[in-house]
Amino acid sequence: MTRKELFKNTLRKSVHAWKLINELPLSDDESLMLRHFMDQPGFLDLHWRMFVPAIKGQGTEEQKQKWLPLANKMQIIGCYAQTELGHGSNVQGLETTATFDPQTDQFILHSPTQTSSKWWPGGLGKVSTHAVIYARLITDGKDHGVHGFIVQLRNMDDHSPLPGITIGDIGVKFGNGAYNSMDNGFLMFDKFCIPRDQMLMRLSKVTREGKYVPSDVPRQLMYGTMVSVRQTIVSNASIAMARAVCIATRYSAVRRQFGSQNGGIETQVIDYKTQQNRLFPLLASAYAFRFVGEWLKWLYTDVTQRLEASDFATLPEAHACTAGLKSMTTSATSDGIEECRKLCGGHGYLWCSGLPELFAVYVPACTYEGDNVVLQLQVARFLMKTVSQLGSGKAPAGTTAYMGRAKHLLQCRSSIRKAEDWLNPAMVLETFEARALRMAVSCANNLSKFENQEQGFSELLADLVEAAIAHCQLIVVSKFIVKLEGEIKGKGVKNQLKNLCYIYALHLIHKHLGDFLSTNSITSEQASLANHQLRSLYTQVRPNAVALVDAFDYTDHYLGSVLGRYDGNVYPKLFEEALKDPLNDTVVPDGYHEYIRPLIKQHLRSARL
């Protein structure tokens, strides 16, 4: 499809989905499932996942009563317009202004520079009638920082932009289809006025007289919508990883290369230990991310309930966990999808393998909802704070509780003696805890050598990110282990999941061996025992690998991959796909008479001379 066709077709699908949701009707969970099968980014994502939650989280009761019924019936369509051309990560650096005019009881929204143009918001370019706009609040000449406002963008009769608003799509993005179904947009305000009651005023207010009244709740609650989406992105990482792994695993069982004895059949590539060493850790990651996603959902629900009761104690941890796990799982999934493409050899590069499109549509997850490095630095700040409070009498809680055993973890030596010890959950966990704590403490020690903490922090950024990743990996491993300790339905399933859990953990040790060795969390002998155990786990997973991806229950239609077909009938279908290509509509291609024939005829003439 052309961009225009793709966009229009996505509108058609979205509106049809909305019709089904109402007519059947579908529950919230079923509606999410429908979005999952629609399988295309579109304006509904931003309306439901960001616009509505922003009003719910930051609006007063009156604002919610006014705006939510309209949004819930989709009588208005909204988006989340925070990022600008000049600033995305640095939210406090946004430039759009919202200046209160006491004469008219209005805010005047203005884009003072080119870099202050809103740039990127999904659904903004062509669809949204409204947006939650983030802008600097100015009253009586004083800048109070960034706040949220509900703003109507387009005329409700003919969809034209309201006077004072310039709006459009930012252009084609990475990939062929992929994220191009979405109208990511730009927006500029030219002294555009909105009534005072359209500032989202749950967290702070501006009175009729123009007085700014901050509330006593943390201002970071303004970032709540991002926390909520980051949490869902972790579960989505599992879905995308599982999809790529399903394709690569099934195809690896179909594909044969080398190893034929006496004219017999060749070896299935899935039987090569190199293939297993690249594929099975990704299979394990798909399960691991699913379980940590379930846990994160619980954590998010818990913190939301606490916030409602004005208990803000766990907010920093919820922020660190959602930011860190969003970052870690999306980076691993993007890399994993690309690895799955390579695992499928040349055919993985074909569009009909399903992997190029999956990669193109998935990879912006490393950037949207917070650049992955920027987010790990938030985790690092949280860890440095926690380390600095050790010994103060305040026991670390939640995911940093292990730091409370700092004395032990800083000096303990791993008691792994034989390969099977690597199947002991307590030993594995302690190894990850020791590594994470030692990396965090080492960063804290290095930071303390700087007189200026901020300067030290910026000097040590790379180490800090690594410490944050170590902490996040510990969380994923520990939540996988917790999952195994709970009730798991299905005969034999627990053993399979155990294998995957240890593959996940031991492969991380292998991949980050430098961390584990340099922190003395393990010795090189223990590392080689881990590798030995890993190979044995691969052998155990091998006979069940296809069943473990079939368990994701993806239909062929959803997978959209000739290589990942359930029936394994790959080769005839590759031909079928090739023959569908428009280039094969004619035997002699368009352009032959214009370019090829004159070229070769000229060659023949000169050859005769």
Ligand X SMILES: CCCCCCCCCC/C=C\CCCC(=O)SCCNC(=O)CCNC(=O)[C@H](O)C(C)(C)COP(=O)(O)OP(=O)(O)OC[C@H]1O[C@@H](n2cnc3c(N)ncnc32)[C@H](O)[C@@H]1OP(=O)(O)O
Ligand Y SMILES: Cc1cc2nc3c(=O)[nH]c(=O)nc-3n(C[C@H](O)[C@H](O)[C@H](O)COP(=O)(O)OP(=O)(O)OC[C@H]3O[C@@H](n4cnc5c(N)ncnc54)[C@H](O)[C@@H]3O)c2cc1C
Single residue of 7, 43, 189, 223 touching ligand X by CB under 6 A: 223
Residue 184 contact partner, candidates ligand X, ligand Y, none, CB within 5 to 8 A by sort of partner: ligand Y
- Taken in order 67, 72, 76, 78, the sign of the CA dihedral is positive
Q: Which two tokens stand for residue 159?
A: 């969809």
The one of ligand Y, ligand X, none whose footprint includes residue 373, by CB under 5 to 8 A per kind, is ligand Y
Q: What Cα–Cα distance (Å) separates residue 475 from each residue in 358, 395, 401?
A: 27, 18, 11
3-state secondary structure of 255: coil
Exposed, middle or buried: residue 252 (CB in 10 Å: 0-12, 13-18, 19+)?
buried
Q: Is 184 in the site for ligand Y (CB under 6 A)?
A: yes
Q: Which of 122, 123, 125, 356 binds ligand X (CB under 6 A)?
A: 122
Beta bridge partners, 134, equal 148
Binder of ligand X out of 84, 317, 369, 433 (CB under 6 A): 369
Interface characters, 311-330, with ligand X (x: CB under 6 A): ----xx--x-----------
- When CB distances are held under 5 to 8 angstroms depending on the partner's kind, the choice from ligand X, ligand Y, none that residue 57 binds is none
Q: Binder to ligand X among 10, 31, 63, 83 (CB under 6 A)?
A: 83
- With CB under 6 A as the contact rule, the residue among 132, 229, 242, 441 that binds ligand X is 229
Would you call 459 a catalytic residue per the annotation?
no
Does 399 bind ligand X (CB under 6 A)? Our answer is no
Task: Identify the CA nearest to 85 among candidates 201, 165, 208, 188.
Answer: 188
Please, what is the minimum distance in Å from the beta carbon of residue 329 to ligand X? 13
**Which residues inside 328-367 make contact with ligand Y, applying CB under 6 A?**
364, 367
- Strand-pair category, 118-119 with 142-152: unpaired
List, as own/partner pairs, every contact residues 380-386 make where C-beta atoms lie below 8 angstroms and the sequence separation is at least 24, other chains included: 380/443, 380/464, 380/465, 380/467, 380/468, 381/457, 382/316, 382/317, 382/319, 382/320, 383/320, 383/440, 383/443, 383/467, 383/468, 383/471, 384/440, 384/443, 384/444, 384/447, 384/457, 384/464, 385/316, 386/440
Selected from 83, 97, 116, 386, the binder of ligand Y by CB under 6 A is 83
Binding region for ligand Y (CB under 6 A) out of 31-39, 84-92, 342-350, 470-478: 84-92
Among 5, 23, 29, 92, binds ligand X (CB under 6 A): 92
Is 340:247 a contact under the CB 8 Å cutoff? yes
Binding of residue 121 to ligand Y (CB under 6 A): yes
By a kind-dependent CB cut-off of 5 to 8 A, residue 563 interacts, out of ligand Y, ligand X, none, with none
Exactly one of 17, 21, 31, 49 binds ligand X (CB under 6 A); that residue is 49
What is residue 84's three-state secondary structure?
strand
Among 39, 169, 197, 371, binds ligand Y (CB under 6 A): 371
Please choose, from the candidates 506, 461, 473, the residue with its C-alpha nearest in 3D space to the C-alpha of residue 399. Answer: 473
- CB-based closest residue to ligand Y: 88
179 binds, among ligand X, ligand Y, none (CB under 5 to 8 A by kind): ligand Y
The answer on whether 386 is annotated among ligand-binding residues is no
Question: Is 374 one of the binding residues for ligand X (CB under 6 A)?
Answer: yes
285 lies in the site for ligand Y, by CB under 6 A = no
Catalytic residue among 357, 369, 430, 433: 369
CB atoms within 10 A of CB 516: 27
CA dist., res. 546 & res. 290, Å (int): 18
CA distances from 120 to 88, 169, 184, 353 (A): 9, 9, 5, 29
| CA–CA separation, 199 and 139 (whole Å) | 13
* Contact partner, 515, from ligand Y, ligand X, none, Cβ < 5-8 Å per class: none
Structure tokens at 568: 């394994």
Instruction: Render the burial of 188-212: b for 16+ CB within 10 Å, e for the rest.
Output: bbeebebebebbbbbbbebeeeeeb
Which of residues 184 and 561 has its CB atom nearest to ligand Y in the complex? 184
Q: Using the 8-state DSSP alphabet, how is residue 48 labeled?
A: I
122 is in an annotated binding site: yes
Residue 226 touching ligand Y (CB under 6 A)? no
- Residues found near ligand X in the complex (CB under 6 A): 35-36, 45, 49, 80, 82-83, 88-92, 122, 220, 223, 226-227, 229, 232-233, 236, 239, 315-316, 319, 368-370, 374, 378, 381
- Which residue positions form the known binding site for FAD? 83, 122
- Residues found near ligand Y in the complex (CB under 6 A): 46, 80-83, 87-89, 120-122, 179, 184, 364, 367-368, 370-371, 373-374, 377, 461
Q: Catalytic residue positions?
A: 369
